[in-house]
Amino acid sequence: MDSDEILVARCRDAGDADAFADLVARHRRQVFRLALSILGQGFSGEAEEVTQEVFLRVHHSLGSFRGEAAFGSWLYRIAFNAAINLKQRVRYRAPHLSDQSLAGLAAPGPDPHDQLASAHRRLALAACIEELPDVYQSALRLHYWMGTPTAAIAELLDIPDNTVKSYLHRARRLLQVKLRERGYDHA
């Protein structure tokens, strides 16, 4: 298996479409996960669009890639910026829910009061997460929602591993304060 640098060189020098396809196959999932971590759980369609847009940009910009950073770092920075830009454009849109998801929300459970309280806590938590800086949101979602290890988050965000841990710690503290302000002392 060729390294990213070799594949990039093959794309730039010979216009090798197979080499670019290998780069896409190698990085597509991580780009999608990064975009989804920024956009949020209900925006997988938009995350897929960001992923496609990122690879189109990369294909057109490979000639300007200087190789000062690793290809993955450059790619993930483009993905991060594209997802942030889309999020800012659609900030007030509601996430897409399928009919099946909506039907599941309407189904009564064994204790409607507990379900309602739990739903309110989840909504409050989601609202508090939305108030955090984008890098904190991304780190939280990647780590807790997607189960991504801190080392992988560091690579995706092109930051040191300890910075990821610091972001997670700060995000948790901010969430505690924000939840406490909303009356959820034990959330």
Domain harbouring 121, CATH code:
1.10.10.10
In this prediction, residue 96 carries a pLDDT of 61
Specify if 99 maps to a domain.
Answer: no
Confirm if 37 and 129 have CB atoms less than 8 A apart.
no
Same domain, 44 and 116: no
Same domain, 13 and 66: yes
Helices 161-181, 112-131: crossing angle, 10 deg rounding: 130
Burial (CB < 10 A; 0-12, 13-18, 19+), residue 110, is: exposed
Same domain, 116 and 165: yes
In this prediction, residue 47 carries a pLDDT of 92
Same domain, 124 and 79: no
Same domain, 80 and 119: no
Residue 94 DSSP symbol: P
Specify if 23 maps to a domain.
Answer: yes
Same domain, 121 and 70: no
Same domain, 47 and 119: no
Question: For the chain, what is the domain count?
Answer: 2
Give the integer Cα–Cα distance in Å for 129 and 41. 12
Specify if 101 maps to a domain.
Answer: no
Domain harbouring 43, CATH code:
1.10.1740.10
Confirm if 139 and 151 have CB atoms less than 8 A apart.
no
| Average pLDDT over the chain, rounded to an integer | 85
DSSP states along 2-62: --HHHHHHHHHHH--HHHHHHHHHHHHHHHHHHHHHHH-TT-HHHHHHHHHHHHHHHHHHG
Specify if 143 maps to a domain.
Answer: yes
Same domain, 83 and 141: no
Confirm if 25 and 73 have CB atoms less than 8 A apart.
no
pLDDT of 74 over the 60 cut: yes
Domain, as residue range, for 152: 112-181
Alpha carbon distance, N-terminus to C-terminus of the chain: 47
In this prediction, residue 146 carries a pLDDT of 83
pLDDT of 152 over the 90 cut: no
In this prediction, residue 56 carries a pLDDT of 95
Specify if 96 maps to a domain.
Answer: no
Confirm if 55 and 2 have CB atoms less than 8 A apart.
no
Question: How many CB atoms lie under 10 A from the CB of residue 76?
Answer: 21
Specify if 102 maps to a domain.
Answer: no
Confirm if 135 and 167 have CB atoms less than 8 A apart.
yes
